[in-house]
Every structure is written in C-alpha cells, then in structure tokens.
Structure 1
Amino acid sequence: MSEKQVTPDLEGAHKLAAVQSVTTDASILDKDSMINGKPSHGAVPVLPSTIIEEADEEVLKYTDASITITPEENKRLLRIIDKRVLTIMLGTYFCQSLDKQILSFASIMGIREDLKLKGQEYSWLFTCLYLAILCTEGLQNYLVQRLPINRWLGFCVFAWGTTCCFVALCHNFTGILVLRILLGVFECVCQPAFVALSAIWYKKEEQARTITLWYCCNGLQAMFGGLLGFGFYHIKGAALASWRIMFLVLGLLTIVWGASIVYILPASPMKARGISEDDRVKIVERVRENQTGVQNRKFKMEHVWEALKDPQAWALFAINFLNTIPTGGLGSYGNIIIKTNLGFTVLQTNLLGLAQGSFQITVLLLAAYVAKKWNQTILTAVVFTLPNIISAVLFLTVPNTKAHAGGLLFAFYMTICIQAQATLSFSLLSRNIAGQTKRGVVTAMTFIGWAAGNSAGPQLFQAKDAPHYRKAFIGQLGCYVASILVLLGLRIYYMDQNRRKRRANNVVKGRAEDAEDEIDLSKAFLDLTDKQNLDFRYSY
C-alpha cells in the first residue's frame, strides 16, 4: 500500500515566502502554521526569546508606551535636546570643517613655499587625511557604540586640536604629512557620532533638519574661514609666519571646545544630567516611532552579516563615494582655481568665501525644506544634483578668460549644490538603518565611501593639467550622473521593500495581503534591524 503524500497548501507556502523575503529572522514565524494553516503551538511567535533577552535593560527602564506627548510638550523637549545635543554638533562640526580646511586658506598665504612643497605633495596633504579616515572609520564606529559618546567625542576633539597646534612647528613635507594623518584619525569620529546622535535623540521627521543644520557649518566655515584667512594674512612682521599663527590659535580654541563637550553633551537620554526623570522617559518615548533603537552595547555578528548583504548599505556607500570625489577635489583646489584661473587677488579670494559660505547654507536649508515639504528625500537630492551637471559642462565649454570670470565664478558656486545630496543621504542612513550594531557597520561603510571619494578627489587635479584641469571636470561630470542613477535605484528598492513588508505583516497578523498597513510600535526598543522588524518602514 502506497504511503499517503501530504501536499502543503500552496497559498500557505506563498505567504511564508512573502514574509521570508523581507526578514532575516525566520524564527519569528511558525512555518507549519503558515504552510498548513494549523497553528502547531496555538499561536505564532512574534519574537524569538534570544532577541528579547538582548534588549538593553537601561533603555527598557525608561520606556512607557502609555505616555502621551502633546505637540506643545514635544516642542519643549525638542528645545531641551537642541540646547544639549545640537549645540555640540554645530560647534564640533564647525571646528572640524575649519581645522580640516585651513590648509586651503594657508595655500595662498605661503605654506607651499615655506614647506617647499612640489608636484603633487600639496594634493597628498588632503588625500592622506581621507586615507587615514578610510583606515580608521570602522574602529571609530565601534568605539562610538561601545564607549560613552560624550567622553570619546570630547577626547577626539581635544586630540585633533593638539594636532593642529603642532602644524605651526612644521618645516617640511614629512612633518605636516604625519600630522594630517593624525588629524584624519581623530576627526573621523564626527560623522558617525553625529549620525548616531541624530538617530538617538531626534524623530525621523526631525533628522533631515538636524543633519542639515550641522552640515551647514561647512558654509559657516567657508564664510568665517575666509575672514580669518584675510585677518591672519595681514599679520606682518611677527616672529611666526601668518599661516603658522593661524594653525596655533585655531588649534588652541579647538582644545578648549573638546574639553567642554564632556560636560555639556549627555552620555545618553537615560543619563542626561540636569534633565528630570520624567523628561528622560518622554525623550526616549518620543523616538519610539523611529523603530531604530536608542542604545545597545552588545555587538551582534548577525547584524554585521545583514549589513554586508543589504543593498541599501552599498547604495549609501556608492552615493557618498560619488558625491565626495567632486567636493574633495574642489575643496582642496577651490581657492587656487578662483585665484589663479579666474584672476582674483588673495584678498578677493578670501572675501569671496563669505559669498560661497552663505550660498552653501542657503542651498542646504532649501534642500531640507523642499524634502520635508515635498516628502521626497531622494527626488530632492536628484534635483539638487542637476546644477552640478550644468556647472561641469560650463567649465568644459566656456573659455577661461577674464571676460567670463564672473560667469565661471557663479558656475563654481553651483557645484555647492551637490552637498545637499550628502546631507539628505545621511538622513536616509539615520532613518532607515535599525539595530545598533547594524547601524554602526552601515555608517562605517558609508563614511569609508565618503573618505575614499574625498581622498580620490584631489588626485583628479593633476599638476600637468593646470590651470584649467579639464580632466578633473570630466571625471566630476561622470560622478554626478552616476550618483543620480544610484539614488533612483535606491528609491525603487525602498518602495519595493515597503510593499513587501506591508504584505508580509498582513500575512503574519492574519489579514488579507492587500489590507491597509497597520504598524505595531511595541518592538521599537528591542534592537531589531530594519530587516528583522516587519513593522519597520523605509523613508525615502
């Protein structure tokens, strides 16, 4: 007698496949129940016990889902957070941007002649900084997750301020090369720390605004850096060259700021001195809907493997690699192009930093406003990349003569628009990557791409191509087009994942696949990744 064959329900198998296609944790399902339509244990488990055990106990002590936060109270809490967290991010990023770029101001104040730099040595002073970031970004992300963020950030700022001071003592290429490498090692704490702080303290709809505000300090640096460069340039007859005094003074100011960070910035919402216990609970609860977690110091290898296999992680890597090749090159050679190619004096070049910085701030704030108003982060990034394509074409086609200096200067300012792509992509990172270890890994990948692009950018400007650097602008044009294609591909991926998650979530909860989406926020602080959590939705 032939043995009876049990044929699985094809509809049940289809439902199981729908769920498994969007989650890396198949243990959230009772497969027999799914396939055969009969629960084997009376209920479908929603979370495996291993995940529940790994939730951060300190965070759970400060959660209370029954709390209702009114709009007025939310504004009050946001003001408290801005005062303690955003202030630190703004001041620190300003110091980082200024300390990194004062070499560009020094380039027209005599540093190249005093240190006898030749050939590509000046370019290597920028490239080596980003190569240092490239090599240490992963370690920095690990330390940001494992150590009290206020103490580690404060130490790194103090250390790079000390490094800037020692530049004033350099007399050759080797000495300044070593110090620029150390500067990169310590400065690379900023972006991963700030992305983490944005995700921990701010709601999803606030993160693009928050990231844009601290990134605007690049514009402030361009404005005040130009004024500082102008001021220091006119120091004559001192015992030290003007550029040496500039490095020494700015380095000392950074040291003072680094010491202040330890006392002003809270280690976490749960350990925020000067904030009441009730407000600490509310600060944690107000970010519940993010579903990206607040804190978990356990390093999870499953998060690492998921990050390495996640298409969005590689897309964010590619976007930041492609948009920093142009900005890295122009950041290093911008003042040289304006002074040498367009015929402006040292004084005029420094003062033009005011216009450049204000235009940059305007572009970034406008991009953040449009993205929020339009509710389209990726499409906004694409739109703000188009002026760069026009700019590259103009530099390749318009004769570089005095008659066209004004037009080419405006074309140069148009290249600033690509920075909106950077800030908006950082907000995609902070909003769409859940799980503390996974976010650390993806942040490292993103800023490794960022560092690689910045290190490659100056190398497009070869001494033999001076003064027009046409090959550099051709390379930048290719980067702009490629970044737009990656952005659009990422948007399609997010839309598809949200559709799949909605269907899978409905299947698990026994609803029709095409039923209206219902989000459960009860798993928000369990350190689930965006893949593991069927209730997570991507923002784009």
Structure 2
Amino acid sequence: MSKSVDRKMSRGPSTEDIIEDTLPSTTETTVDKIEEISSLEKKLVRKIDLRLIPWLAILYLMLSLDRNNIGNARLGGLEKDLHLEGNDYYTALTIFFAGYVIFHIPSNLVVKRLRPSFWIAFTMVMWGICSLCQAFTHNAAGLIACRFFLGTFETGVGPSIPLVLSFWYQRDELALRVAIYFGSSTCAGAFAGAIAYGVLATMDGAHGIAGWRWIFIVEAIPTIILGLLSLVIMPDLPSSPNKRWLTPEERELAIQRTEMSGNTDKQFFDKKQFVAALTDLKNWLAVGIYVGLNVALGSYAVFLPTIIRDMGFASLDAQLLSIPPYVAACCLVFLISWNSDRTMERGFHIMGVSSLGALGYIFLLASESVGLRYTGAILVACGIYPIIPLTLSWVSNNQLGHTKRAVAIALVSMIAQVFAIVGTQVYRTEDGPRFIRGHAVCLAFISLSGISACVLRILLKRENTRRNQTYGPADVKDLSTLEDIDTLYDNHPQFRYAL
C-alpha cells in the first residue's frame, strides 16, 4: 500500500467526509452546498484557533515561567539568602515533580467533569499563589513546601490541555496546535532570561526586597490574574451549553467533528478503558520517548543559565545568553509540528529532532571551545522541545475513548516526570564548568527517545499492515458509526494508527 494511502487512513475525517455524512445523496447536493459547508468548517476551525490557542499559549507560558524561574533566582542569590546547604536546592527542584506526578491522572479525569474553564482557572490561581509565596520564604523548608504545591496545581494545565484540545481538533490538526501552545514554553525560557536580567539589574533591593524575590513576585501576579480571567475566556467542550461565540450551525458541526473522531463516550469514567490504557504497549513505548525527553528537559530548563555562566560569562550576561537557544527552539517546534501534521508522520520527526539533541550534547561533551559548546546548547534546545507536541499528539491520535485517552496522556507525562527528577540531580556545581556527567546522562536519555520512537513506529506500521491484509483498507469515515467501538477502542478493525 502506498504511503499516501496509509497516511490518509490514519487521518481524522476530512471536510469531504463530514459533507458526505451530513448531506443526503440527492441532486440538491450541489457544488455550491459542498463549498458552503467546507467554508463553514474552515470558519469554525479559525474561530476555535483564535479562541483556544493564543489563550492556552499564554497560560502555558506562565506555567513554564513559574516552574523554572528558580534557576534564574539562583543566580540572584537565592541559595545564600535562604541559607541553603548541601542538597537543599536540589531537593527543592525534585519535590516539584512529586506533586506534579501524584495528581496527573486525577486531574485529567476531573477536567471534563468539572469543566475545563473552572478546573484550569482554579488550579492556575492556586499555583500562582504558591509561586508568589516563594518570594517570602526564609528557609529551605518553606521553599520546598512551595515547590511541592506548585507542582500539584500545575497539573491543571500541563497534562490536561492536550486532552481538551483532542475534543476540538481532528487527528491531523492536533500536532501544530499542541506545538503552538507548548512552543510558549520555549518563549518562556527567553522571557525568563530577559525578565531576570531586568529585575536583577534594576529592582535588586527595591523596597528592601532582594532581586531574586522580585523575580517570583513579578511573574506570579500575572499568573493569578490570568487564572481568574480563564473562568470567562476559556471555552469548555463542543457539547457544553451557552457557547455564544459559536453559531448553532458551528456548534453542531463542532460536535459532529469530535464524534466522528471517536469521542462518543458519555461516561465520566470507564474502568475497561482505564485498564486498557495501562496495559497498552504503545503507551509504554511512548513513555520511553517522554522519559528520555524529560530527563534532558528537567535539567536544561533550570540549569541552562548556570551552564552558560560556567562557560566564562558573568551572571547577568548568562541570563541574556540563555535567550537565543529558546528562540531557535521555538521556531523549530512550529516548523516540525506543521510538517508532522501535513504528512501525518510522528515517529520520523521524533527520531530526527532527538538526533539533533544528541548532537548538541556531543558538542557540549567533546569540546572546550566556548563557541562550539554554546552551539551545542542551542542544538539541545532544538532537539528537546519539538518532541513534546509530537509525542503528546501521537499518543492522543492513537487512543479512542475519553478515559483511555485521558489516562494514556497522563500516564506518559506522569512517569516521565518521575524521571525528570534525574534531570534535576545530574548537574552539580562541583562538576562545572564542563558538567561531563550531566551531559553524558542527558545524551543517553535523549537517545532513548529516538530509539523508543523507532520501535513504536515499526510496531504501529506492522499492525496497520496486518489489519489491511486481514480486513482490507479502512473505509469508515465516521468512527462514531462503528459497532463495538466503545468496547474495542483503537483495537477496532477499521481503526488505523497514526505513524
């Protein structure tokens, strides 16, 4: 079977599919009517894009800032002022992931029950308060407590948003949208450096408050405000009532699009789907991809300023020099994700960017040249960040059923966050300025991402081929019409996996 046919079968329903199922086969089904419905869908997608994506990007930007600004605060004197000793700083980094991991699955199961707008607004306000409290801590215990609850409440946005997006978009629309809002995390790295530079240069000692404390204050207050606004601005689900921003025709089309993609189950929780998600080999291979990513990401986001400083730059200059790697990564995230949606290929793209990240770590390990090492730091960012939307979209594409998709996304992210703890521990001050151990560990794990993606793609390709040979090409356009879809999920003979 040709690659084009294989890609077509792994996509979601197209505009033509919706038209065919919506309109009766009569002479009244004219070209003008088809164009009218096609135009309506394009208008609907644009409306969803404008309402959802920019807002989610801003929310995730704040999430990334509040999660990682401790790395910038460290260069401003946090350790000295809080009298941190031994492993205190690394414990504060690690404890964040404890809270973040524990509440992954509960958050993804609750978000649909309590409405995304309420759940996201509530958790965002709460993590903003936790972030703000870091500015007023005076010892290690206070900092560690704030970091734990910061991780707990950030689950309301982190793992929940990919699930919410899967109810609004088709399979071949998802990666780019996930990339746009996740790409804001790369922007956060750039903003963090710029904000830290400005705050430490101009506000250190203002009103008797140390500059590193101002970093937390300046970045936490907007989070709380945006959290409150989310209650009004953030849409819920296509089937939710009172969608005044959609016309009745657009709302009906949005519901039809999500049902045709397999979002048909009405139950809040399905035990069979829960077990199916936990026992699905595909999900565990995706865990391998995300584990490799998160070890590298967990270290990169909080230690990049330190790594750059130890190349021989002053602390303030290191804050500024942490910006270009994130800018480059942000551009590549959008480009790679757009091409992934266009070709409906996830595995090859993950293999490609993980190889780029591995090359970056090799540069950091093999050379004493500041220029080559800084280039390596840029390549690492370009290799790490595109994997995030590609993996989450891949997992979402290949799960049917709300509970199964919710648990699969949470499972992949949750276990990977456990291993992100490794990333917070591998870079030690005493290993500077080369940080050989940290770079070597991250090189091994980013390689794991590429290998896991390769194995997963081979298995999915083999299964698609088996189903084609056994049952023939998949010709069902509306997954909601399939018998036994609510019990077989993605094991249904007419379902084809995204590769």
3-state SS of paired residue (1:274)? coil
Report the AA paired with residue 131 of structure 2: C
Match of 2:266 among 283, 296, 314: 296
Does residue 407 in structure 1 map to residue 369 in structure 2?
A: no
Give the direction of change, closer, same or farther, for the CA distance of 1:397–1:520 in structure 2 (3 Å limit): closer
Question: In the alignment, does 2:233 pair up with 1:264?
Answer: yes
- How far the C-alpha of 1:70 sits from its partner, in A, is 3.6
- Which string of whole-angstrom CA distances, capped at 9 and with x for unpartnered residues, describes residues 465-506 of structure 1? 3332212222112112222221111101111222233345x3
Q: For 1:286, what is the secondary structure of its paired residue?
A: helix
1:226 aligns with 2:196: no
Gaps of 5+ in 1: 1-62, 507-514
In structure 1, the partner of 2:210 is 241
Q: CA deviation at 1:134?
A: 1.5
Residue 397 of structure 1 aligns with which residue? 366
- Residue 187 (str. 1) matches residue 143 (str. 2): no
Which residue matches 2:403?
Answer: 437
488 and 226 in structure 1: CA distance in 2 versus 1, 3 angstrom threshold = same
Q: Is the contact between residue 398 and residue 490 of structure 2 (CA under 8 Å) also seen in structure 1?
A: no
Instruction: Deviation per CA, 1:28-58: give whole Å up to 9, x if none.
Output: xxxxxxxxxxxxxxxxxxxxxxxxxxxxxxx
2:56 maps to which of 89, 99, 103: 89
Output one character per residue of 1:497-539: Cα deviation in whole Å (capped at 9) or x when no partner.
Answer: 22233345x3xxxxxxxx4432252526965553353322111
Alignment CA distance shift 1:159-1:397 (3 Å): same
In structure 2, the partner of 1:472 is 438
Q: 1:193 to 1:64 in 2, by over 3 A?
A: farther
Q: Distance in 2 between matches of 1:485 and 1:475?
A: 16
Is the 2:105–2:410 contact (alpha carbons within 8 Å) kept by the matching residues of 1? yes
Cα separation, partners in 2 of 1:481 and 1:270, compared to 1, 3 Å = same
Q: Mapping of 1:161-180 within 5 angstroms?
A: 161-180=128-147
C-alpha distance 527-196 of structure 1, shift in aligned 2 (>3 A): farther
Residue 273 (structure 1) aligns with: 244
Please identify, of 268-277 and 317-326, the stretch whose mean Cα deviation from structure 2 is larger. 268-277
Q: 1:500 to 1:530 in 2, by over 3 A?
A: farther
CA 1:135/1:480 → structure 2, altered by over 3 Å: closer, same or farther? same
Task: Give the corresponding residue for 1:36.
Answer: none
Cα RMSD after superposing both structures? 2.1
Ranges of 4+ aligned residues in structure 1 off by more than 6 Å: none
Which stretches in structure 2 are left out of the alignment for 5+ residues? 1-18, 24-33
Shift of 1:336: 0.5
In the alignment, structure 1 residue 318 sits paired with structure 2 residue 296: no
Report 1:58-457 matches (<5 A). 65-66=21-22, 70-234=37-201, 235-238=203-206, 239-271=208-240, 272-291=243-262, 293=263, 296-340=266-310, 342-399=311-368, 404-416=369-381, 417-457=383-423
Q: Which amino acid is the alignment partner of residue 490 of structure 2?
A: K
Q: Is the 8 A contact 2:261 2:479 kept in 1?
A: no
8 Å contact from structure 1 (residues 157, 255) kept in 2: yes
Measure the CA separation in 2 of the matches of 1:491 and 1:236. 51
The higher radius of gyration belongs to 1
Distance in 2 separating the partners of 1:286 and 1:66: 11
Distance 1:306 1:265 in 2: 31
Asked if 2 retains the 8 angstrom alpha-carbon contact of 1:158 and 1:254, the reply is yes
Indicate the structure with greater helix content. Answer: 2
The code of the aligned residue for 2:219 comes to: L
Match of residue 496 from structure 1: 462
Instruction: Quote how far apart the aligned CAs of 1:295 are.
Output: 6.0
1:523 corresponds in structure 2 to 480
Return closer, same or farther for 1:232/1:208 CA change in 2, 3 Å cut-off: same
Structure 1 Cα separation of the partners of residues 416 and 448 of structure 2: 15
**1:323, distance to aligned residue in structure 2 (A):** 1.2
Take 2:427 and 2:50, find their aligned partners in 1: how far apart are those partners? 41
> How far is the alpha carbon of 1:150 from its aligned partner?
1.0
> Against the structure 1 CA distance between its residues 523 and 500, is the aligned structure 2 distance closer, same or farther, given a 3 Å change threshold?
farther
Deviation for aligned residue 1:236: 3.7
Query: 1:335–1:73: structure 2 CA closer, same or farther, 3 Å change rule?
Result: same
Is contact 1:219-1:357 (8 Å) kept? yes
Q: C-alpha offsets along residues 297-350 of structure 1, whole Å, 9 cap, x if unaligned?
A: 43111112211221111111121111110111122211111012x111222212
Q: Secondary structure in 2 aligned to 1:244?
A: helix
Map of 2:424 onto structure 1 = 458
Structure 2 counterpart of 1:281, one-letter code = E
Paired residues of 2:260 and 2:477 also in contact (CA < 8 A): no
Aligned-residue sequence identity (percent) comes to 22
| Residues 521 and 535 in structure 1, CA contact (< 8 A), matched pair in contact too | no
8 A Cα contact 2:364 2:372, kept in partner: no
Greater Cα offset, 369-378 or 265-274: 369-378
Question: Could you list the per-position Cα deviations for residues 401-445 of structure 1 after superposition, in whole angstroms to 9, with x for gaps in the alignment?
Answer: xxx112211111111112212220111012111111111211121
Amino acid in the other structure paired with 1:317? V
For residue 449 of structure 1, report the CA deviation from its aligned partner: 2.2
Q: Is the 8 A contact 2:474 2:496 kept in 1?
A: no
* C-alpha distance 294-159 of structure 1, shift in aligned 2 (>3 A): farther
**C-alpha contact (below 8 Å) 2:325/2:377 kept by paired residues:** no
SS in 1 for 2:239: helix
Per-residue CA deviation, residues 178-215 of structure 1 (Å, 9 max, x unaligned), is: 00000000002223221112210111111010010011
In the alignment, the residues of structure 2 paired with residue 411 and residue 527 of structure 1 have an alpha-carbon distance, to the nearest angstrom, of: 47
Tell me if structure 2 keeps the 8 A contact 1:391–1:414. Answer: yes
Name the amino acid aligned to 1:461. Y
Q: Is the 8 A contact 1:144 1:192 kept in 2?
A: no
Q: How does 1:15-94 map to 2 (within 5 A)?
A: 65-66=21-22, 70-94=37-61
Q: Is the 8 A contact 1:164 1:183 kept in 2?
A: yes
> Matches of 2:336 and 2:43 in 1, distance apart?
26
Aligned length: 463
- Residues 121 and 302 (structure 1 numbering): CA distance in 2 closer, same or farther, change over 3 Å? same
Alignment-derived partner of residue 27 in structure 2: none
Q: Is the 8 A contact 1:432 1:539 kept in 2?
A: yes
Partner of 2:28: none
Mapped partners of 1:353, 1:229: distance in 2: 11
